Structure 1
Amino acid sequence: MTKQTLFKGTMILTVAAFITKILGFANGIVLANVIGPEGVGLIMMAMPVTGLLITLTTLGLPIAISKLVAEAEIKGNYRRVKKILVVSLVTTSLLGFILMIIAIFGAKALSSHFLTDQRAYYSLLAVIPIVPIVAVSSVIKGYFRGKQNMTPIALSQVIEVVRIGLIFFLVQWLLPYGIEYAAAGAVLCGIIGEGFSLLYLFSVFKWSKHKKFKLHHSFIKQISKGKEVFFDLLKTGLPTTGNGLIQSLIGIIQPILITQSLALAGIGTALATKQYGIVMGYAIPLMLLPGFVTNSLSVALVPAISESKENNNHLLIKKRIQQAVNIALIVGVPWTIILYVFAEPLTTLIYKSPEAGTFLKIMGPFFLLHYFRTPFQAVLIGLGKANTVMINNLVASIISLISIAFLASNPELGIYGLALSLNIGLTLGTSLHFFSIKKLIGFYLNLIDTIKVILSGIIMGYGGLITFKYIQNETTNSIVILVISLTISLLSYLLFLFFFKIINFKKLHK
């Protein structure tokens, strides 16, 4: 199994994520037009409960596995790698099936207490079986990350898109029975895609593992001797689980708090669900569209930082962080500016919802920080500070919820108060991660490169706006106008990046 560099691993994951993101985004457009913001809102309400179940099932082990496997690989300790996998598979499989059964029988109670719209019950019931599937696949993915071989993970992501081929037909078939059934059908297709992904991962794992590495050999014996490994996994896994629990609980509490706050502002339940769907189902996915790049980077960063830490190579750690920051800047800046400049045209064309453009302008500039937050989080975990990540995210989440309660309940702000509150939480969370890293290793941002990238983005934005206004006078075709404007904008951005010598593939590849 070939070990890959940070840059190569990131690029492999990025290409796969780009394909799945584009197809998934197209799927989102189809859903938005078929079931509308109300149906999307029902799906978004059910997802946090499932996220909580998955978090409880995996116990943060996928990240812990990648960290421990990377450290064991340096020493060539295949027995330890085997123990890591056996203990993880047993733990997550048992928890996954137990929680799935409990959740199925308790779905009614969960929907009554945690879902603000009872129609979301069907989406919740449909998505619960995904829990044990994700549990097992996450362990295998953690193994490949630790081996710093991202190709199987990337291909499994592409295979998962089989759900997109099913989703349109199933949703159309169920729509006459009610929007709640159509939303549940869309969720069910995700389980099918995840199942195909797991089958592929398992077959590749069996084919690629070390010859001396046989999981079926002395399986029980490995479990009995895996106590030390189990506690090592929990050392990283539990804080990561705590962080996941925080995010899942926030995801469950947030819709309730939002609808209650909006009710205080004089907005009814149906309208609140629709507005929630516009923000969470339209605006945020659009803002996070290029996030697959930094997410891919974060996946590759954990084992890379862990390996460097194990070798006491602090210079390489700082180099990896700077590479991550540069990639985040290069990707985040142009998309942020594009969303701000072309907010209404984009949301009108894609979702037929120009009101979503207003949220892009309010939240877009702050969401640039998201592209730094995930890599910073990965760096802290790689340094063995998963507990710091948990504390930072907890503080940011609490402040965000408090802000929602105050701002969204204000009749003058309403749903815009939610947008401002999300901005506050994101800014605080990213800042806490950055200062934690700075305190640990004395890392400083390269301000000159940062200014160059931002300047390139600003020039791109002005150029794109001028082009957009000029073409508007020549044609009324909104697709043509946007495609030409965005193409010229991005080309000018790349030109200035090369002019300022920001893009240097030789440095990134090392």
Structure 2
Amino acid sequence: MKNASPFICGTVILTISNFLSRLIGFYNRIFLAGMIGAHQIGIYQLIFPVYLLGFAVCFQGFQIALSKITAEKKAAGIVDAAKTTLRLTILLTMVLCFIFSFFCFVYADKICTVFLHEPACVPCLRLAVLVLPFVGVKNCIHGYCLGVGNSYVPALSLCLEQISRVSSIFLLSIFLIEKMPVAAFLAVCGMAVGEIVSFFFTVIYYLLHKKSDHVKAESGSTVSKRSLCYELLSLGIPLTLNSLSVTLLQSVQSILIPMMLYRFYGNRYRSVEIYGILSGMVLPFIMFPSTITNALSLMLLPKISAAKAENNSAYLRRCAILPIIFCLILGVGALGGFFVLAPWIGNFFFHNKLCGEYLRLLSFLCPFLYCSSILSTILNGLGKTKDTLLHNSVSLVIQICFILFVIPLYGVKGYFGGLFLSCLFLCWANYRKLKIVI
């Protein structure tokens, strides 16, 4: 019970912060939908394949590796080694972020014209990639904090980010909306302000509290920087390749959806509008209950890693089984709620009938979506990154096949079919592997 209490407390803190930030985010999306419209939201969403590619290349894998290493070093009583790993991760992240941001900023015209097929995305993409170094450093510190069991910093940072984002969007919409190159630029400005404010809060908090770590290093327990760097790279590179492969497939998918919808509807504006409804209105509602599963995943990864390092098989099984049962119950409850309330949600929040129809269809994804997420986290904590990479890749290939060959024939229903089948496969494959391992 003593082992469970900090884990439960941290999960509750992250869940509350995620819940509050999602509520603020919903207000933001509703405000944006009324201010700039579904088509401009679609343009805003189109930059995310490139933006999230930066996450994968620059820091996502190394953040997970840092969290895992920190949990293991804390369990061994050598937190100084974890702090050194944090500094190494920040240095590596900053170098990668500057290179990626420079490349995307310079070639933004070609990226948006050739790959995204939307020249209006150029100013949005250029501003978004300038924020990547701030996001990278912030996420590294969050990974370290979660590794040592401190969930307050990521939680407060997340809430502050959303409050700053919404406030800045509201103020900019009053004073500067007419001077912006495209209406979607308003949403990117809000995102940039939120990330920068969150960055400064995280860095200042860490600098003020880094010397008050309650876990002291064992006397004589020292680890060389070279060995720590090797450990970080040996774990972080496979995780980065995993994230990169999955993100590349997701990016291809996001770029292809509007193109294939255009083949079915024959109208570019209509295609981007439907993409905006799906990605900017429907999916955020479907993912709303994942505030709990995301918090659970963030706290669970270092817990699984520490249990594995201590060879505590009984506690390891308990850490795996109970979250799966919880996510299954949550998914079934979300399915029922969204299926019943979908038409009301679409009309009340967005005044959009299609939003309600799409939300009802996607509600069947909830049990598989939430369970597959937690299963992937458990497998990553056990070091089975190659398996999660394979499962995620196959799942995304299924989606891409449906996008390429089914959407041009059946429209958006083809997208729903591919999403459902890929989620079903991912959940089955992750569960099958976990059952073999545990």
TM-score bin (small chain): over 0.9
CA distance, structure 2, for counterparts of residue 292 and residue 279 of structure 1: 19
Task: Check if 1:426 corresponds to 2:423.
Answer: yes
Q: How does 1:6-21 map to 2 (within 5 A)?
A: 6-21=7-22
Q: Secondary structure at the match of 1:321?
A: helix
Kept in 2: contact 1:116–1:259 (CA 8 A): no
Kept in 2: contact 1:10–1:300 (CA 8 A): yes
2:170 alignment partner in structure 1 = 168
Give the deviation of 1:332 after TM superposition: 2.4
Amino acid at match of 1:122: P
Kept in 1: contact 2:66–2:85 (CA 8 A): yes
Kept in 1: contact 2:109–2:119 (CA 8 A): no
Amino acid at match of 2:256: L
Once the two structures are overlaid, the 10-residue window that deviates more, 50-59 or 391-400, is 50-59
Kept in 1: contact 2:116–2:255 (CA 8 A): yes
Q: How does 1:235-314 map to 2 (within 5 A)?
A: 235-314=234-313
Kept in 1: contact 2:335–2:367 (CA 8 A): yes
Q: Output one character per residue of 1:450-505: Cα deviation in whole Å (capped at 9) or x when no partner.
A: xxxxxxxxxxxxxxxxxxxxxxxxxxxxxxxxxxxxxxxxxxxxxxxxxxxxxxxx
CA distance, structure 2, for counterparts of residue 83 and residue 166 of structure 1: 36
Amino acid at match of 2:397: I
Give the deviation of 1:177 after TM superposition: 5.3
Give the deviation of 1:259 after TM superposition: 2.9
TM-score, with length taken from structure 1: 0.80
Q: Secondary structure at the match of 1:149?
A: coil
Q: How does 1:76-225 map to 2 (within 5 A)?
A: 76-161=77-162, 162-176=164-178, 181-210=182-211, 225=224
Give the deviation of 1:373 after TM superposition: 1.7
Distance 1:125 1:310, change over 3 A: same
CA distance, structure 2, for counterparts of residue 198 and residue 91 of structure 1: 17
Kept in 2: contact 1:49–1:248 (CA 8 A): no
Runs (5+) with no aligned partner, structure 2: 215-221
Q: Secondary structure at the match of 1:128?
A: helix
Give the deviation of 1:175 after TM superposition: 4.3
Give the deviation of 1:27 after TM superposition: 0.5
Q: Output one character per residue of 1:114-154: Cα deviation in whole Å (capped at 9) or x when no partner.
A: 21322122221221111101110111011101101111111
**Rg: which structure is higher?**
1
Kept in 2: contact 1:60–1:241 (CA 8 A): yes
CA distance, structure 2, for counterparts of residue 334 and residue 64 of structure 1: 33
Amino acid at match of 2:412: I
Amino acid at match of 2:272: T
Kept in 1: contact 2:330–2:367 (CA 8 A): no
CA distance, structure 2, for counterparts of residue 172 and residue 389 of structure 1: 46
Distance 1:175 1:424, change over 3 A: farther
Amino acid at match of 2:413: Y
CA distance, structure 1, for counterparts of residue 245 and residue 305 of structure 2: 24
Amino acid at match of 1:63: I
Q: Output one character per residue of 1:282-340: Cα deviation in whole Å (capped at 9) or x when no partner.
A: 11111111111100000000000011101111111111122212331343222221111
CA distance, structure 1, for counterparts of residue 265 and residue 161 of structure 2: 42
Q: Output one character per residue of 1:70-103: Cα deviation in whole Å (capped at 9) or x when no partner.
A: 1111111133213211211110111112222222
CA distance, structure 2, for counterparts of residue 183 and residue 171 of structure 1: 11
Runs (5+) with no aligned partner, structure 1: 214-221, 442-510
1:415 alignment partner in structure 2 = 412
Q: Output one character per residue of 1:27-83: Cα deviation in whole Å (capped at 9) or x when no partner.
A: 011111111110110111011201101221115111111111111111111332132
2:49 alignment partner in structure 1 = 48
Once the two structures are overlaid, the 10-residue window that deviates more, 347-356 or 266-275, is 266-275
Q: Output one character per residue of 1:251-290: Cα deviation in whole Å (capped at 9) or x when no partner.
A: 3322332233223324321111011111111111111111
CA distance, structure 2, for counterparts of residue 146 and residue 168 of structure 1: 36
Q: Secondary structure at the match of 1:379?
A: helix
1:226 alignment partner in structure 2 = 225
Distance 1:31 1:59, change over 3 A: closer
Kept in 1: contact 2:55–2:136 (CA 8 A): yes
Kept in 2: contact 1:170–1:186 (CA 8 A): no
CA distance, structure 2, for counterparts of residue 130 and residue 324 of structure 1: 34
Amino acid at match of 1:51: L
1:39 alignment partner in structure 2 = 40
Kept in 1: contact 2:66–2:232 (CA 8 A): yes
Amino acid at match of 1:88: T
Kept in 1: contact 2:49–2:255 (CA 8 A): no
Q: Output one character per residue of 1:368-423: Cα deviation in whole Å (capped at 9) or x when no partner.
A: 2111122111111111112211111011111110111121010xx21121121111
1:494 alignment partner in structure 2 = none
Task: Check if 1:326 corresponds to 2:325.
Answer: yes
Q: Secondary structure at the match of 1:245?
A: helix
1:335 alignment partner in structure 2 = 334
TM-score, with length taken from structure 2: 0.93
Kept in 2: contact 1:171–1:182 (CA 8 A): no
Once the two structures are overlaid, the 10-residue window that deviates more, 195-204 or 287-296, is 195-204
2:395 alignment partner in structure 1 = 396
Give the deviation of 1:156 after TM superposition: 0.9
Give the deviation of 1:174 after TM superposition: 4.8
Q: Secondary structure at the match of 2:393?
A: helix
Equivalent residues, number: 428
Amino acid at match of 1:276: Y
Amino acid at match of 2:171: F
- Root mean square deviation, CA, Å: 2.1
Q: Secondary structure at the match of 1:63?
A: helix
CA distance, structure 1, for counterparts of residue 267 and residue 175 of structure 2: 30
Percent identity over the alignment is 27
Kept in 1: contact 2:334–2:366 (CA 8 A): no
Kept in 1: contact 2:46–2:255 (CA 8 A): no
Greater relative CO, 1 or 2 (CA 8 Å, sep 6+):
2
Give the deviation of 1:181 after TM superposition: 2.1
